Each structure stands twice: as C-alpha cells, then as structure tokens.
C-alpha cells in the first residue's frame, strides 16, 4: 500500500529544488547572455555559471530518492 | 514600472566598461607629437572602426571628432536597444536630453553672433536624443527666431520655454534669458519624471539635484565675476537643488567675492572649492572652480558603479564614464592639432 505522505514529501523535495534552480538559472542565464554578447570568449565560463544551480535540483533529487527508497525500509 | 532585465543589462554594461580607456592609454595618446601620430595611436583602441569610417570623409582633427561622434551615438543606440520599451528608457533619456539642451544652446549662441554653420556644427556635443538631421536643419536656419520656430513646427518640447521667453530676449538681446529658460525647463522636467519612490528614480533624482546645485554655484560665480545686481534671485537660480536652495544661493551671491562664497560653502559637499589655490580665488577666475565642480559631479555619477547592480545605477555610471572618456580624447585631439605641450594637455584632462 503506497504511503501518500512519502510520495508528497519526495515531490516537495524535488519540486522546490527544481524551482530554486529555475529561478537562479533564469537570472544567471540572462547575465550570461549579456556576458557572451560583450565577450564571446567567455562562453565557457558563462556556461559553467549557468550550470552551477543544477546542484540544487540534484540535491533535491537525492533527498527525494532517500525519502522514497531509504525511509520506508527504516 | 515594468520588469527590466537588469541581469542582462548589468552584464553588458560591465563588459562595455571594461573596454573604456585606462589612464595610461590616455597618457600614451597625450604623449603623441601631433594629430597624425595621435590618430595612429587611437587606432589601437576600440575607436578603430569609427576612425576608419570617419576617415572616408575627413582627415586630422575633423576625422577624430566625427569618429567620437559616431562612437558615442553608437553606444547610446546600443544601450537604448537593451532597455527598449521599458520605463528605464525614459530615465536614460533624461540624461540624453541634457546634451540636447547643450546643443540647442550652442546653436542659439552661434545664430546670435551670426557664426558660420560649419563652426556651429563643430561645436556641437556628440550626444543627445535629437537626431543629426534635426540639428543640421536647426543650424541651417538664418537666426534665433527661425531656430525656435523650427523647433515649434516640429513639435519639439524645448520650443515651449524658448517661445515663452522670446519676447524678453528680443527686447534685451541677452541670450542668457533663453539659456536660463531652457535649463529651468530641463531640470523641472527631469525632476518631474523621477518623482517616484523606486531605487532607479532615486539615483537619477540624486544626480539631477546635484547637477542643479553645480549649475547654480556656477551661476553664483558668474554673477560675482560680472558684478550683477540681483533683483529677482528666482530668475537666476534653478530650484530643486540637493543642498542649496534659492535663499541660500541668493545669500551666496551677496558675498561679492569668491573668497566669501567658498567660506559660506563650508559645511556643504562643496566645501572642497575652498581648497583651490589662493591665486584663483583672488583673481576671480572661474574656470578652475567650474572644472572642480564638474569633477565633483563626475565622481558622484561614477560612484554609481558601486550601487545596486540590479538597477539602472550601472547604466548611468557608464554613460558618465563614457562621456568623460570622449571629452578627454577630444581635448587631447584638439591640443595635438595645436601642438600644445604634453604637460599642459594632461592638466586639462579629468581623471576620477
């Protein structure tokens, strides 16, 4: 029998992480576009900065995985 | 206010700022022997493309002037393209309109003394929201009245204060009447446009109000130098200054001497004027005072670079820095075409 509280918890953990990443990437992406327009040679660096907030959603994913798969076995 | 993409604007402006000439590059330009070697050196800077374009029509100093005009107008167009359709555009236009006022004044002065159109065109600042075509048409007019009529016909708002004060001007033939009217119109208009509570409006209001103070102090200095009797202080001074109101300004102009003015300014942000060498104060020479005041204003504007990065502060700071760079290059170019010694050239430049 599926425990809805676990599924909702995992969803919140992943969803909020993704939302945070989205907000951060929107702003960094806009700034990155500005940087590339002025100095195309900084494309690589701008890409790294745009990708950095991905860590948030990865952490959210890990926490969601723990909630879904580890928590029920404890 | 609508959402402005400050992250994008900020990144672009910082990139553009990194390409502004540094002091040592300006010094290298100032060290050149003549205008031709100056142009060669300037080709190693971001002005290369503009110089190449200008060299099709002009040579020497005229080529540099045209290149600077092209570069500045390109920069303004570029900045306005980031903020197109935003309320921020209105705020940037306040800055550009200042140069329109200066250009209109230059044309009126030229027409008042029957100067040849080419000379007037060379004296125009390479900035502002009025197009080259508008300015050229204004220069072609035969006299002051015709210039004002042209502005009115084209529905350009600056015709309003000029038309209102034209009768007074035609009686006295004193152009100061029209110049004060234009200044007052511009500053009142600018303060009305930034009357809101937003951070952007606040920073522009701060700069405009400091500018009003600086303009008023310059007027006080001229009143003292020319020994003008003040009948109506409201007429000579612009209200809305940051630290000096009209009452304080009329008290300043009653000081009668430069020394008296600098003493009365103690305790305000303009106390630095008292630090100028005594010979300027006693000789009642106002150009060093004007230069110090302009430098103060520039420092205020450039301090915006350390303001909120997610605001228009960076854009306004950059516009001032760019204009200062253009002014410095223009000064060097003019000095080089007249073979002015390097030391004297450097004294004329404004570094902040």
Q: What are the residue boundaries of the structural domains of chain B, listed by start?
A: 1-82+312-352, 85-193, 201-226+236-300
Q: Between chains, do B11 and A28 touch, taking CB under 8 Å as contact? A: no
Share the mean pLDDT of chain B. Answer: 87
Residue A38: which of B5, B7, B16 has the nearest Cβ? B16
CB spacing of A35 vs B15 below 8 angstroms: yes
Residue with more model confidence, A21 or B263:
A21
Domains B1-82+312-352 and B85-193 agree in fold: no
For residue B5, which residues of chain A lie inside 8 Å, CB to CB? 30
Question: What single DSSP character describes residue B22?
Answer: P
Picking from B137, B157, B139, B159, the residue whose alpha carbon sits closest to that of residue B148 is B159
Q: Is pLDDT above 80 for B232? A: no
Distance CA B225, CA A48 (A): 61
- Domains of chain A, with CATH numbers? 4-73 (1.20.20.10)
pLDDT tens digits in sequence order for chain A, 74 residues long: 668 899 999 999 999 999 999 999 999 999 999 999 999 999 999 999 999 999 999 999 999 999 999 888 87
Q: For residue A37, which residues of chain B lie inside 8 Å, CB to CB? A: 12, 15
Nearest to B181 by CA among B105, B130, B80, B120: B105
pLDDT at B3: 65
Check residue B245 and report its DSSP letter: -
Asked if B181 contacts B165 with a C-beta cutoff of 8 angstroms, the reply is yes
Superfamily of chain region B1-82+312-352: ATP synthase (C/AC39) subunit, domain 3 (1.10.132.50)
Interface test with A, best of B5, B6, B11, B318 (most A CBs within 10 A): B11
Q: Is pLDDT above 70 for B2?
A: no
Q: pTM, whole model, 2 decimals? A: 0.84
Mutate one of B5, B7, B82 to test the A interface: name it (highest A CB count within 10 A): B7
Give the pLDDT band of residue B1 (cuts 50, 70, 90). Answer: very low
What is the total residue count of chain B? Answer: 352
Give residues 1 to 60 of A whose Cβ lies within 8 Å of B.
27-28, 30-35, 37-39
Domain B85-193 class in CATH: mainly alpha
Q: Which of A46, A50, A7, A45 is nearest to A27 (CA)?
A: A50
B63: pLDDT strictly greater than 70: yes
Query: Is B8 in Cβ contact with A33 (below 8 Å)?
Result: yes
pLDDT above 90 covers what percent of chain B? 36
* Chain B interface test: which of A24, A26, A38 (most B C-beta within 10 Å): A38
Q: Give dist(CA B89, CA B302) in Å, integer.
A: 20
Can you give the pLDDT at residue B91? 78
Higher pLDDT, B296 or B90: B296
Using an 8 Å Cβ cutoff, are B23 and B351 in contact?
yes
Split at pLDDT 50, 70, 90, the class of B257 is confident
Q: Do A31 and B11 touch (CB under 8 A)?
A: yes
The C-alpha of B342 sits at a distance from chain A's nearest C-alpha, in angstroms, of 34
Cβ of B7 within 8 Å of Cβ of A35? The answer is: no
What's the count of helices (H) and strands (E) in chain A, helices before strands?
Answer: 3, 0
- Assess contact for B4 and B83: CB atoms under 8 A: yes
- pLDDT above 90 for B340: no
Task: Write down the H helix ranges in chain B.
Answer: 6-18, 23-30, 35-42, 48-54, 60-82, 87-112, 117-123, 132-140, 144-153, 159-172, 176-193, 199-225, 233-236, 246-253, 258-264, 278-283, 287-302, 313-337, 342-348
Q: Determine contact, residues B150/B141, Cβ cutoff 8 Å.
A: yes
**Cβ partners under 8 Å of residue B98, min gap 6:** B128, B186, B211
Least confident of A13-27, B109-123, B147-161: B109-123
The answer to whether B101 and B160 are in contact (CB under 8 A) is no
User: What is the Cα–Cα distance from B320 to B113, expressed in whole angstroms?
Assistant: 31
Q: What does the pLDDT read at residue B214?
A: 93
Rg (chain B; Cα; Å): 21
Is A34–B16 a contact, with Cβ atoms under 8 angstroms apart? no
pLDDT band at B86 (very low <50, low <70, confident <90, very high): low
Across B12-21, B25-34, B104-113, B282-291, least confident range: B282-291
Residues 6+ apart with CB under 8 A from B235: B180
CA torsion B137-B138-B141-B143 (nearest 10°) is: 180
Cβ(B36)–Cβ(B324) below 8 Å: no
Work out the average pLDDT over B121-125: 80
């Amino acid at each position: 029998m599926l425990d809805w509280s676990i599924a909702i918890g995992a969803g919140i953990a992943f969803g909020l992480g993704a939302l945070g990443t989205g907000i951060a990437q929107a702003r960094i992406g806009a700034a990155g576009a500005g940087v590339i327009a002025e100095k195309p040679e900084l494309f690589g660096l701008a890409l790294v900065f745009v990708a950095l907030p991905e860590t948030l959603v990865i952490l959210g994913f890990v926490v969601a995985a723990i909630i879904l798969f580890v928590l029920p076995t404890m | 206010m609508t959402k402005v993409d400050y992250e994008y604007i900020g990144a672009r402006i910082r990139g553009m700022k990194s390409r502004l000439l540094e002091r040592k590059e300006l010094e290298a330009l100032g060290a050149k022997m003549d205008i031709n070697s100056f142009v060669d050196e300037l080709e190693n800077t971001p002005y290369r493309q503009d110089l190449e374009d200008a060299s099709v029509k002009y040579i020497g100093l005229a080529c540099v002037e045209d290149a600077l005009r092209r570069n500045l107008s390109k920069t303004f167009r570029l900045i306005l393209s980031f903020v197109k359709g935003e309320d921020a555009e209105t705020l940037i236009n306040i800055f550009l309109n200042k140069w329109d006022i200066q250009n209109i004044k230059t044309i009126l002065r030229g027409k008042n003394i029957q100067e040849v159109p080419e000379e007037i065109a060379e004296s125009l600042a390479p900035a502002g929201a009025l197009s080259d075509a508008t300015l050229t048409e204004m220069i072609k007019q035969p006299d002051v009245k015709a210039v004002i009529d042209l502005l009115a016909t084209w529905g350009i708002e600056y015709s309003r204060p000029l038309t209102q004060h034209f009768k007074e001007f035609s009686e006295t033939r004193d152009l100061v009447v029209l110049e004060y009217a234009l200044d007052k119109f511009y500053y009142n208009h600018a303060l009305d446009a930034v009357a809101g509570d937003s951070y952007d409006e606040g920073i522009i209001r701060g700069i405009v109000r400091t500018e009003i103070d600086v303009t008023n102090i310059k007027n006080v200095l001229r009143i003292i130098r020319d020994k003008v009797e003040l009948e109506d202080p409201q007429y000579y001074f612009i209200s809305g200054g940051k630290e000096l109101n009209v009452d304080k300004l009329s008290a300043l102009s009653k000081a009668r001497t430069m020394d008296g003015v600098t003493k009365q300014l103690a305790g305000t942000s303009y106390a630095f004027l008292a630090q100028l060498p005594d010979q300027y104060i006693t000789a009642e020479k106002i150009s060093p005072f004007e230069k110090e005041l302009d430098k103060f204003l520039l420092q205020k504007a450039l301090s915006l670079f350390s303001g909120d990065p997610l605001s228009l502060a960076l854009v306004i700071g950059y516009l001032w820095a760019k204009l200062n760079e253009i002014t410095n290059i223009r000064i060097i170019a003019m000095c080089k075409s007249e073979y002015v010694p390097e030391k004297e050239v450097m004294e004329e430049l404004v570094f902040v």
